[in-house]
Amino acid sequence: MRRAPCMAWMASILLLLAAPAAFSQTPIHGSFEACAAIEIDADRLACYDAAAARSTRNPKVADAAAADAEQVKQAAADAEATALPRSERARRAVGDLFGNEPTPVDDAIANAGRGSLLDSRWELARDSKLGTFNFRAYKPVYLLPLFWNSDPNDLPSSPNPNNTVHESQELDEVETKFQLSFKTKALENVVGDNGDVWMGYTQSSRWQVYDSEKSRPFRETNYEPEVLLVFRNNYSLLGWKGRMAAVGVNHQSNGRADPFSRSWNRVMFNVGLDRENWAVMLRPWIRISDGNEDDNPDIDDYVGRGDMTLVHTIGKHELSLMARHSLRGGDHSRGAVQFDWGFPIHNQLRGHLQVFDGYGESLIDYNHRATYIGLGVSLLEWY
């Protein structure tokens, strides 16, 4: 029985465009009355800030205050070391492990980087924390009605014979792609005034919507839940500010039966740095083996063992470049690059251009190299 493609198409577009409302209810031209109606605390605060034309926080000011506070704290520690007997210094050190009331010096140190790009997404500074179980933006949310594939993978394969397709799918080169992504904080300040546990979810779909002869099937959907323990940092490296470090567990699968089934699990390490309107995230990972019945035993030799995402904001434009690699040489030297450009159209609506080249644009294509070009709209980018 043929599905109703037009209705399905419209429903999916409405779902995508409505999804950011789950974690962003801020009116574009908000009044104080409109802000008061918002239920989510973080969005209500952002709405009040916009209505009051509150100026953006300057992370340079916060960094300078933190540096001054570090010097004051170190000077006080040095003076204490010379003035107090060893037994008293030991007693105070033990007391510090169990926490004391924060001083203005401690507050300044803990607020380093407040207002920076990474702080805006991960609530890193002490005064940026907004509590638990607020829905927040994670990865970009977009709809690309035109998504062109230079070499459709009609016969997906794997070293596992149970996961090799033997009948051609005869795929169209042009399809539609969309992505939804959000996160929420489950625990806050698990180590003193630092360390937050975040839960994230990302879903991306490739839809053969123009293939009316096959009733417009979804070719591939990837599901990616993850949990991260995120810590605030404050260090300098070659002009960049180290803002965060994280460790977590990531699962990615396409939810399909053999021979199309693909999945893997990883321990993820995140290191985030930023400077002015630049941000970079480094993510090395270690794969957790699935055992002998692995759907894709060689996936890390194609999708890689780590990636880097560099983001640059220019006014209301946002450019990002992702690169990943197998971290191997010779015939095992493989990877991918992806470029995204979000540009303003009207209010929160943006245009979105995406270009990908390499292996693993989706899980079913993890060992298949191709070039993809997509054009559409987005409501949320990285920052």
Catalytic site residues? 251, 253
Q: Token digits for 224?
A: 């990616």
Of 285, 353, 275, nearest to 319 (Cα)?
Answer: 353
Of 36, 22, 9, 30, nearest to 347 (Cα)?
Answer: 30
Residue 82 CB: number of other CB atoms within 10 A? 6
Of 137, 164, 175, 168, nearest to 154 (Cα)?
Answer: 168
Report the DSSP pairing between strands 335-346 and 174-187: unpaired
Of 285, 335, 334, 337, nearest to 309 (Cα)?
Answer: 337
Residue 220 · residue 205 · CB < 8 Å? yes
Please give the Cα distance from 236 to 234 (Å, whole number): 7
Please give the Cα distance from 204 to 315 (Å, whole number): 27
Beta bridge partners of 374: 147, 354
Angstrom distances, CA of residue 320 to CA of 124, 253, 282 = 22, 25, 13
